[in-house]
Amino acid sequence: MDAIVMAGGFGQRLGMGEKPCVELLGKPLITYVIDTLRAAENIDRVFVAISPVTPRTEMMIQERYKGEVRTIRTFGGNYVGDMIHAVETAETVGPVMIIMSDLPLISPDLIDSVIEKYREEGKPALSVYVPLNICKGAGIRPDTVFNKDGKLIVPAGINILDSSQIRNEQEDFNLILDNPKLAINVNTVKDLQHCKDLLQGQD
């Protein structure tokens, strides 16, 4: 399965320039996600969708990965449109993972387990969620909350879609995982510090 990392947002709330390039313990934020995907057994090719507001991100990826991770230029401003453009440009076949660039705590095992669950369920699409109480326990205030059968859940920024139906709405399995590491995406300086503490084993 191919993976596309969405890295077209500037990260205004973080206020530190292009968010994918913001350093976390000496590494650009997006490289945590890229390196995790490359280490996962079930991921083949990794692409990064960049936009007009993330030119440094494109340069950094080209320099760091020497063509092993390809960048795809999108138009920016419309997440769904950019995602469709990236999938079609990558010419992926079958299912494709779409993942946000600001999830530095995820692991290859987690990625592989999500893909295995997707294969078990047999639906065209899968979306990963975290229960709201897990976010609150991690000190995170999410932007988006959904009600699933009376349970409040938060999108984790990891989805799998059927690339052949990328322009259509797809039947979706909701995978709800009680994993605090999925709850933490970096939107603020406080989130960045929280990730530093966790990665250094101080929390």
| CA end-to-end span of the chain | 34
Backbone angles phi, psi at 58, to 5 degrees: -60, -45
Q: Is the CA virtual torsion 120, 1, 192, 140 positive or negative?
A: negative
User: What pLDDT shows up at residue 181?
Assistant: 86
pLDDT for res 202: 53
pTM of the complete model? 0.93
- pLDDT of 180 reads 86
Contact 38, 46 (CB under 8 A): yes
pLDDT band for position 16 (cuts 50, 70, 90): confident
User: Token pair of 49, please?
Assistant: 């969708």
The pLDDT score that the predictor gives to residue 72 is 97
**Pairing of the two strands 95-100 and 27-28:** unpaired
The answer to whether residue 6 scores a pLDDT higher than 90 is yes
Counting the structural domains of the chain, the total is 1
Mean pLDDT of 45-55: 95
Higher pLDDT, 174 or 11: 174
Q: What is the pLDDT of residues 98-145, one digit of tens each?
A: 999 999 999 999 999 999 999 999 999 999 999 998 887 777 777 788
- For position 89, what pLDDT does the model report? 97
- 73-105: pLDDT as tens digits: 999 878 999 999 999 999 999 999 999 999 999
For residues 156 and 130, the answer to whether their CB atoms sit within 8 Å is yes
Please report which confidence band the pLDDT of residue 203 belongs to, taking 50, 70 and 90 as the band edges: very low
Q: What is the largest CA-CA distance in the chain?
A: 47
Q: Which of 49, 70, 88, 58 is nearest to 166 (CA)?
A: 88
The range of the structural domain enclosing residue 80 comes to: 2-199
In tens, the pLDDT along 155-191 reads: 999 999 999 999 999 999 999 999 988 888 888 888 8
Query: Sign (positive/negative) of CA torsion 155, 156, 157, 163?
Result: negative
What's the confidence (pLDDT) of residue 194?
85
CATH number reported for the structural domain that contains residue 133 in this entry: 3.90.550.10
In the 3-class helix/strand/coil scheme, how is 2-69 assigned residue by residue?
A: EEEEECCCCCCCCCCCCHHHCEECCEEHHHHHHHHHHHCCCCCCEEEEECCCCHHHHHHHHHHHCCCC
- The pLDDT assigned to 10 comes to 63
